[in-house]
A = this chain, B = another copy of it.
Amino acid sequence: MSRPIVIIGGDAAGMSAASKAKRLKPDLEVIVFERDQHISYAACGMPYWLGGVIDSDEKLKALPLEVARKKRGIDVRIRHEVTAIDLASKSVQVTNLETGESFAQPYDKLLIATGASAVKPPIPGLDLPGVFTLRSLTDAQRIHAYMERTQPRRAVVIGAGYIGLEMAEAMRDRQMETTVVEMLPHIMPNFDPDMVGEVAEHLAEKGVKVLVETRVTGVQQAGDHLEVATSASPEPIPADMVIVSTGVRPNVALARDAGIRLGETGAIWVDKQLRTSAPDVFAAGDCVEYYHRVLERNVWIPLAPSANKGGRIAGENMVGGQVEFPGILGTAIVKVFDDTMALTGVTERQAQENEALFGPVASVVITDRDRAGYYPGAQPIRVKIVFQQQGGRILGAQIVSRGMAGKRIDTFVAAITARMTLAEFAMLDLAYAPPFSPVYDPVLVAANVGLKKVK
């Protein structure tokens, strides 16, 4: 009897792999074990459901369980936890969380798609009712149920990264008094400091109070509400709910315990075909480190696009493919009320930290309008490019804009992937008409100004 393909984890990576494998080899048995009750949902959409922008969490279910099972023929087992991988016998130990029953499942090929988990920092009180992390749909459902039941009026968000700011917006959309507390010196620590000023002001305009360089020292119950103590003031911040969005960590325990190699980032090491150090074992998604095309080494940046792409590639390679995942640029985009922040490649800080690789680096920042200045609705846009001083190869870019113009980061994604220089970029024949761009698109203006610093 032939052994099946087994996939640990039914997130985007796991289900992408399962779908791809079944599409290529419909006769193969593909089993997915998912600990949770949900598979492959649009995790990035959760803040919009919690803010009321989307009216039902059903809309976030990218791949309904019945479609995965019946239409795609994938044997999905929810509420099944894999507790161990035995490389010698090529099997996994599984517990059915509903029945408590345990069993061994042999595999032909195995995919580890265990994802990542929210981290709660070691601060007293983060286990109190009303304190939440947001990583899984189950988390989101807990928050949603809590808000429906208690109608909170005041929220504190710990951490001013992507999720923190999206949740701050969601809380304001629900008319809550909202305070964001960030330990580091500025919001969106993934961006360079010179790119965050407008957005910080915009948050204030929208009624979000932001405290930077501030530590949360504890959360405690105070009658019917919570109090968040911070390093900023002796007075605690009263809150009806607290969102902890201080980061995530890869779920690597299963892999580590099986002796599978972890990388320097702490996530699972994989080669370009997404094979782990163990024979017949692949890994993809938020639990692995992917190759970074600018940094030229593996990094751990868990985001949905690379989880999906990686899963698809692993699925193909598990059924005999030889496809390579060329890597990521860490591209990200986030809506903060009416503003957009986007980045790709490396920031100036990262570039400077890697001058051994890049040599001396330089940067340029310009502000302009996203359309012809005379065209109604033209909005401010700020573009930063980071590049090698010698020769001007582009290493990274950041855009902050009002409205949708932040998606222009994709032009840099293609250019950086192609290892373009500023001089080459400045000559791109980008699209122009007054409702869409000035005659020199702001990204070209930035490149032209930056050229003056190239040696």
Contacts and interface: CB of A to CB of B under 8 A. Distances in A.
B305 A439 contact: yes
A431 interface: yes
A440 to B, nearest CB: 7
A124 interface: no
Nearest to A162: B433
Contacts of A238: none
A345 to B, nearest CB: 9
B375 A433 contact: no
Interface stretch (A41-49, A74-82, A175-183, A206-214): A41-49
Given A42-B374, A404-B404, A408-B407, A413 B439 contact: no
B60 A374 contact: yes
Given A12-B439, A440-B308, A342 B414 contact: no
Nearest to A62: B439
A328 interface: yes
Interface string A288-329: 000001000000000111101100000000000000011111
Interface string A214-233: 00000000000000000000
A273 interface: no
Contact of A428 (B54, B407, B410): B410
A245 interface: no
Contacts of A435: 48, 335
A331 B375 contact: no
Contacts of A409: 431
B436 A333 contact: yes
Interface in A397-440: 403-415, 417-418, 420, 424-425, 427-437, 439-440
Nearest to A415: B414
B429 A413 contact: yes
Interface string A350-368: 0000000000000000000
A12 B293 CA distance: 39
Contacts of A342: 431
Given A305-B430, A411-B413, A417-B428, A406 B372 contact: no
B374 A433 contact: no
Nearest to A330: B429
Contacts of A425: 414
Contacts of A12: 439
B44 A410 contact: no
Contact of A303 (B374, B415, B428, B432): B432
Given A54-B375, A410-B411, A418-B414, A431 B331 contact: yes
Nearest to A333: B431
Contact of A331 (B328, B429, B443): B429
A221 to B, nearest CB: 34
Contacts of A434: 42, 44-45, 48
A427 B305 CA distance: 10
Given A45-B372, A328-B429, A417-B420, 20 more contacts: A42-B374, A42-B434, A44-B439, A48-B435, A308-B439, A308-B440, A326-B424, A326-B427, A329-B429, A332-B431, A406-B431, A407-B407, A407-B437, A408-B410, A410-B411, A410-B443, A413-B429, A414-B415, A417-B418, A418-B420
Interface of A: 12, 42, 44-45, 48, 53-54, 59-60, 62, 293, 303-306, 308-309, 325-335, 340, 342, 344, 372, 374-376, 403-415, 417-418, 420, 424-425, 427-437, 439-441, 443
5 contacts: A62-B439, A293-B429, A411-B411, A413-B430, A418-B418
